[in-house]
Amino acid sequence: MRISRGALLTGVSSVVALGLLVGGFVVLGGSSKQDAAHHQAGGGPLRSPFTGEPITALRPELIFKIDNVPQARPPTGLTKADIVYLLPVEGGLSRIFAVFSSHIPPVVGPVRSSREEDIQLLRQFGRPAFAFSGAQPRLLPVVEHARIADLYAGIVGGYFRGPGRIAPYNLYARTKTLLSEAKGASKARDIGFRFGAASAGGTPAKVFNVRYQSFTFSVRWSAGQHRWLISMDGRPATAADGKRLGARTVVVQYVKVGTSGFLELGIRPPYAHTAGSGSAVVLRGGRAYHVRWSRPTAGGGTTFTLPDGHRMPFARGQVWVAYGFGPGSSRQQ
C-alpha cells in the first residue's frame, strides 16, 4: 500500500514481546584457514565481502524486502542474491531481506513493505539502496529518513504489477531502473563475514529446522550438490526460474526479539534486535558449528567466533541467515 511521504514522523518505541520456537535439528572439520573476503591477499583476485567469491569490482548494494508467504512464492531473482536474511513479522510469519551486489538480476520480487527492524539491519551496510513497497503511515517517514538510498515504490520508477497473481503479491521491480535512481548508494563492504576452509570440529548434521509460529524453515544437507537444500513450510523451496533454493552456508542467529512501536493490522509486529551478541549455529559442509555472534553497534558488522576464539569461516557462495528467537524474547503474536 502506498502512503504519502508527508506522513508525520513520530517517535519510535521498541518494547519486549514475541517468541519463537527454534531448534529441532538432527545432527549428522577441517583446518581453519580463512580470509577477509574483500582483500586481495598476495595479489589474488578481488573477492566479494558478502560471498567470498571473485568479483571484478565492488558494486552498489541493492537490498529488497520480499514477501515470503505461500501466496507470494516462488520469488523472482533470489538465486542471484549475495545474502538472504529471514526476519520474523506479524502473524508468526517471515519476510525476506535480500542483499544484491555481485550479481543483480533484471527483475526482483514480489516486493513488500518495510518493518522497523529493517532499519537496524540496514545500518551495517553503510548507505545501501533499499527497495520496498511502503510502510504503515507513522513508520514510512522513519524508513525514508534512515541512512539509505530511498527506493520506496511510491516515489521512484521501475515497479510494475506482474500477471498471474493478485495484489499485494504481484509487485516486482526492474533493477536497472532502480539502480539509476539509487544516487549515492554505498558499495559492498565488510560486514564481518569471513570465508575459507572449514574449521576443525563441528557436529555432523543432516537437517536443521527453524520454526516460527506460522512458518517453518528447514535445511537438509546434500552431499551430491555440496550445499544445504532449503524447504519452507514442509515444501521444497524454489525460485521462479524453477531452481531449488539452497546455500553452502546457512546461519541460524539467535537474537532477542521484542515488539515494534509501529502497529501492523492492530498488533505490534516482531522487532529482531540484530545488534548485540548471542549464540548462533553455522551450517556448512554437512556440519553444525556452535558459535558466538557479536555486533556491538548498529553501524558495525557481525562477527561469528568459534569457542577457541578464532573467527568462523563461511563457505564461499550465497549465505542465508535465519533469525531465531533467543533469550529474552517474548511470545509470538
Q: Domain limits of the chain?
A: 21-325
Residue 42 pLDDT level (bands cut at 50, 70, 90): low
Cβ–Cβ < 8 Å for 172, 108: yes
Q: Does domain 21-325 have CATH number 3.50.90.10?
A: yes
Under DSSP, is residue 224 helix (H, G, I), strand (E, B) or coil?
coil
Q: What is the mean pLDDT of residues 12-41?
A: 38
- Segment 316-328, tens digit of pLDDT: 999 999 999 999 9
The three-state secondary structure class of 22 is strand
Give every CB contact of residue 235 below 8 A, 6+ residues apart in sequence. Answer: none
Question: pLDDT at position 44, please?
Answer: 84
Rounded Cα distance, 302 and 191, in Å: 6
**For the segment 205-218, what is each residue's pLDDT rounded down to a tens digit?**
999 999 999 999 99
- The single-letter code of the amino acid at 146 is A
* SS3 category, 202: coil
Query: If we measure between CA atoms, which residue out of 291, 304, 320 comes closest to residue 229?
Result: 320
Q: For the chain, first and last CA: distance in Å? A: 22
Where does the pLDDT of residue 43 fall: very low under 50, low under 70, confident under 90, or very high at 90 and above? Answer: low
Q: What are phi and psi of 67, to 5 degrees?
A: -65, 155
Q: What is the mean pLDDT of residues 233-260?
A: 98
Q: What CA–CA distance (Å, rounded) separates 229 from 246?
A: 4
Assign 8 a pLDDT band (cuts: 50, 70, 90).
very low
pLDDT at 265: 87
Range with lowest mean pLDDT among 8-12, 92-96, 98-102, 161-165: 8-12
The pLDDT tens digits of the residues spanning 143-169 come to 999 999 999 999 999 999 999 899 999
Q: How far apart are CA 246 and CA 95, in angstroms?
A: 17
